[in-house]
Chains A and B, each alone.
Chain A
Amino acid sequence: MSHKVSLTVNGTAHTREVEARLLLSDFLRHDLGLTGTHVGCEHGVCGACTILLDGVPVRSCLMFAAQINGKSITTVEGLSADGKLSPLQEAFRDAHGLQCGYCTPGILTTMTAFLAETPKPSEGDIREALSGNLCRCTGYQNIVDAVKLAAERMSAKP
């Protein structure tokens, strides 16, 4: 049995028929072609698949596409506008916050929501907010630096 879902992804409306067992992560990647959302572990631990569901970070590997009728989703592809990187993305580039980039989409979505809620985070706050996202490359140091840099730049702006 398939289920009809209508949702908004990065501002664009979509309607699709989905099988009940289709994970939201696979729906985004395979049905919508939004391969920026990465899949690492499929049990909620690595954080690579994190997306914003109605603005809130959630694991897309732990939801079914059938559950998202009427919802609005932002993936990493939706963080930049008009070809311009978001301040957080720019800071990741400037502070070398990524190497292979596998973890990056999940970290960017998670930290976008974090900075919206915590505009002036301490280093401890940043590390805690990052605790649910694994990176096998960077040793986290440059990721923390990038988030700090983004917070500074964003709060300096009038």
Chain B
Amino acid sequence: MKPAPFRYAAPASLEEALALKAEHGDEAKFLAGGQSLVPAMNFRLAQPAVLIDLNGLDALAYVKAEGGTVRIGAMTRYHTLQRDKTIGSKVALMAEALPEVAHPAIRNRGTLGGNLSHADPASELPAVVLALGGTLHARSKKGARAITAKDFFVGVLTTALANDELLAEIELPVFPPRSGTCFLEVARRKGDYAMMGVACAVTLDAGGACSDVHLAYCNAGETPVAAPKAAQALKGQRLDDKTARDAAEMAKGEIRPFGNVHASVDYQRHLAGVLTRRALIAAYGRARA
């Protein structure tokens, strides 16, 4: 189908984009990579009256390492992130998840900011940002505010952004030495949304026991879902097949998958168990390397 008519605006500055959004509120939508919004418009599931194209705002596309954090501009495309050395070395969890997101032609357009603002619980990157404990920086005509990943994802396709706010920057902490991460998913075909996916990060103390563990899942509920109890239970423990299995069992109970035509709830939980165990062991191995 074809999109309904709308007014197209291509602002030349962030301030102009924010002023337009403040003026039109819910009637307006930002256009980032368009890889989720344009399909929705073509099916007329979305019919914004005003489309504010962010693609001219080069100032929103960057990756910067600063102190203990990496800052990513919302308009940075997957293609760029996949090839970025800072992401590869300091945000390895994201680098590992990116090839699982869609196909090359989609990754040439899709952006990190668009992905997170879209807040599809089946998507890989919200789970990655949640596992990393990221902070999302929103901007509006009125000012700026920081939202933790935990508070940002509110429901299916719903974020904490107000109707005059733009997601401008994603700030991710760099894990300390003796940390390892792993992203694993099972999808029916390469590039499809995962039936289940896990993002995992492990930090070890000097004795080799876990001092910090993060687990987050995609396609496991209305938002990206964390498994804090399983993660907590591993603290002070060494990771081996037994402790990884126990944690995986706990995590299976913490997630809230819906099931779909491709995978029943039971099967999704089963996958979560298997993937958690494997991801923990892999992350542990990387933390020791």
Contact = CB atoms under 8 A, between A and B. Distances in A.
Q: Do A and B bind each other?
A: yes
Interface stretch (A7-15, A52-60, A80-88, A89-97): A52-60
Contacts of A53: 108
A114 B8 CA distance: 33
B263 interface: no
Contact of B106 (A19, A59, A63, A127): A59
B109 A58 contact: yes
Contact of B53 (A26, A58, A61, A67): A67
Contacts, number: 80
A47 interface: yes
B105 A59 contact: yes
Interface of A: 1, 3, 19-21, 23, 26, 42-44, 47, 50, 53, 56-59, 61-64, 66-67, 110, 114, 127-129, 131-132
B7 A20 contact: yes
B158 to A, nearest CB: 21
Given A20-B5, A21-B3, 11 more contacts: A1-B8, A20-B7, A21-B4, A42-B42, A43-B42, A44-B35, A44-B39, A53-B108, A62-B35, A131-B190, A132-B103
Interface residues of B, number: 29
Q: Which of B8, B79, B103 has the most CB of A within 10 A?
A: B103
Given A20-B7, A58-B108, A62-B109, A131 B34 contact: no
Contacts of A110: 104-105
Nearest to A128: B190
B80 to A, nearest CB: 11
A53 B2 CA distance: 21
A1 B8 CA distance: 9
Given A20-B51, A44-B39, A64-B8, A132 B102 contact: yes
Contacts of A56: 79, 108
Interface string B1-44: 11111111010000000000000000000000011001100110
A33 B55 CA distance: 27
The 7 closest A-B pairs by CB, nearest first: A132-B103, A43-B39, A20-B8, A62-B38, A57-B105, A131-B190, A21-B3
B210 to A, nearest CB: 34
Interface of B: 1-8, 10, 34-35, 38-39, 42-43, 51, 53, 55, 79, 102-106, 108-109, 189-191
B8 A62 contact: no
A126 to B, nearest CB: 12
